[in-house]
Amino acid sequence: MKSIEKFKAKLLDAAVKKGFENAEFYYQSSRTRKINVFGGKTEKYQDSSVGGYSFRGLYGGHMGYFYSESIDENEIDTVLENAKNNALLIESEDTELIYDGRDAVYTMPKTYDPSLETLSVQEMTDYALGLERAAYAADERVKNVLASTISAGESYISIGNTYGLDVSERSNYAFGFADCVAEENGMAKENGEFAFYTSKDMLDPEAVAAAAVKKTVAMLGADSVDTGVYDVIIRSTALADLLDCFIGCFYGENVQKGFSLLGGRLGEKIAADSITLVDDPFMKDGLSTTGFDSEGVPTRVNTLIENGVLKMFLHNLKSAAAAGEQPTGNGFKQSFKGTVGISATNLYIKGGDKTEEELCGIMQNGLIITELSGLHAGANSVSGDFSLLASGFLVRDGRIVSPVEQITAADNFFALLGKTAAVGNNVRFNSGAVGAPSVLFKGVSIAGK
């Protein structure tokens, strides 16, 4: 890390002397290790690393760019010459901004745990083997464990610019996943479960296996239901996946381009009173917890919907300037080679005070939707309309009576939020750092038999 910080300081100092009006250095490195076992043996082991930096600088009124995977002080003159020539060739009038963070105050959450740094290949193998064994042992109807996987990742990001901004962050995690097949009476069902860990003592393969098996065997004997309009509880992870499809409607850049139906609706009621949508970059053990974005802007907790009212959009520097607002700390890019866009951090619908059993009691008769599929093809991220394959359970008199499959749920996401009848207390996140509780909605169109 010291070599990176030294290179950053020298490059930015040289950029000023070279005549750049402003300049920025962004470095990102990551390593991922992954083990999958099958049939009691290690099937695959992967260990991959990637890293590099990007330089961008304002020269002659235009932004020039350069990126490389090589950290070499002897190449600084070449870096700056390439970026300068790139700037002189650019004819676009598109505004590019470098963050003036001289007065910025950062809250740096915990994103790194030393215990995960010591996670050995043997320990990862033992976890994956334990995951497979536990899945087979959980229920005799489990006939195959298709995936028994653990991955461990770490990353380092460092950003500096000629305004004096100088921030860095180290993070690591582990991720476990099990996928199994259960059979009964000639019917086979497949399902899986994952867990995200931020320290080694959290590793619990038995819990992941038990959850995967429970989800799988619960769907044995599933059938369709009659077409109609049903009250529906969308379970936490399924609702998180649905929300994930429509996050872009809350991005300032999409609003400004006309790609969001929420444009011009700030201050309006767009959901039921019980719906509050929060983006929290400081969440403990969050998948996207961070103290700053890819532009070096400090992150902050943003409440997008509060008690049903649309309060704000998420911004990077560019979209914030266009809106005449402050950036929200949501300017992120995928890699050091990428361009800055807008992304949420840990985005979730706040939980209420009802258990799922209590939601069933309120609903009395209807459906619990536990899985939604075809999300990319069946959901229009601009209009909010969706028509998705679904599965779950039939509820009568407040109790689950049978599993359900081969149905399609159709509605408009924002209209759906307005039909919220009760909110559960079981907030869960999907693997994309989007979370939700189970929520009871009134009057959803279901196509079945």
Q: pLDDT of 157-167, one tens digit each?
A: 999 999 999 99
Q: What is the mean pLDDT of the chain?
A: 96
Read off the pLDDT band of 412 (50, 70, 90).
very high
What pairs with residue 403 in β-bridges? 393
Maximum alpha-carbon separation in the chain: 77
Cα(107)–Cα(323) distance, rounded to whole angstroms?
25
The residue with greater pLDDT, 329 or 377, is 329
pLDDT computed for residue 102 by the predictor = 85
Cα(314)–Cα(231) distance, rounded to whole angstroms?
32
pLDDT over 80 (residue 298) = yes
pLDDT computed for residue 282 by the predictor = 98
Read off the pLDDT band of 408 (50, 70, 90).
very high
pLDDT computed for residue 275 by the predictor = 98
Cα(313)–Cα(261) distance, rounded to whole angstroms?
12
Q: Mean of the pLDDT values across residues 399-414? A: 97
Read off the pLDDT band of 2 (50, 70, 90).
confident
Instruction: Determine the length of the chain.
Output: 449
pLDDT computed for residue 89 by the predictor = 87
Cα(250)–Cα(247) distance, rounded to whole angstroms?
6
Q: Mean of the pLDDT values across residues 179-190? A: 96
Tokens of 212: 């995967």
Helices 2-18 and 76-89, packing angle to 10 deg? 50
CB 147 within 8 A of CB 177: yes
Cα(238)–Cα(186) distance, rounded to whole angstroms?
27
pLDDT over 70 (residue 93) = no
Which of 90-99, 101-110, 133-142 has maximum average pLDDT? 133-142
pLDDT computed for residue 90 by the predictor = 76
Least Cα distance to 241 among 408, 432, 406 occurs for 432
Q: Which CATH architecture has domain 2-215?
A: 2-Layer Sandwich (3.30)
Give the pairing of strands 385-396 and 434-436: unpaired
What pairs with residue 387 in β-bridges? 410
Q: Mean of the pLDDT values across residues 229-254? A: 97
Query: Between the CA of residue 51 and those of 48, 67, 245, what are the distances in Å?
Result: 10, 11, 30
Q: Quick one: what percent of the chain has pLDDT higher than 70?
A: 99
Tokens of 427: 């907030």
Cα(152)–Cα(175) distance, rounded to whole angstroms?
6
Read off the pLDDT band of 6 (50, 70, 90).
very high
The residue with greater pLDDT, 3 or 320, is 320
SS (H, E, C) the chain: CHHHHHHHHHHHHHHHHHCCCEEEEEEEEEEEEEEEEECCEEEEEEEEEEEEEEEEEEECCEEEEEEECCCCHHHHHHHHHHHHHHHHHCCCCCCCCCCCCCCCCCCCCCCCCHHHHCCCHHHHHHHHHHHHHHHHHHCCCEEEEEEEEEEEEEEEEEEEECCCCEEEEEEEEEEEEEEEEEEECCEEEEEEEEEEECCHHHCCHHHHHHHHHHHHHCCCCCECCCCEEEEEEECHHHHHHHHHHCHHHHEHHHHHCCCCCCCCCCCCECCCCCCCEEECCCCCCCCCCCCECCCCCECCCEEEEECCEECCCECCHHHHHHHCCCCCCCCCCCCCCCCCCCCCCCEEECCCCECHHHHHHHHCCEEEEEEEECHHHHECCCCCEEEEEEEEEEEECCEEEEEEEEEEEEEEHHHHHHCEEEEECCCEECCCCEEECCEEEEEEEEECC
pLDDT over 70 (residue 402) = yes
Domain boundaries defined on the chain: 2-215, 222-449
pLDDT computed for residue 359 by the predictor = 98
Surface-to-core class of residue 114, CB atoms within 10 Å of its CB (0-12 exposed, 13-18 middle, 19+ buried) = exposed
Q: In what order do the strands lie in the sheet with 166-184?
A: 62-68, 41-59, 22-38, 142-161, 166-184, 187-197
Read off the pLDDT band of 96 (50, 70, 90).
confident
- Amino acid letter, residue 314: L
Read off the pLDDT band of 212 (50, 70, 90).
very high
pLDDT computed for residue 92 by the predictor = 67
pLDDT over 90 (residue 1) = no
pLDDT over 80 (residue 95) = no
pLDDT computed for residue 317 by the predictor = 97
Least Cα distance to 372 among 286, 276, 265, 244 occurs for 244
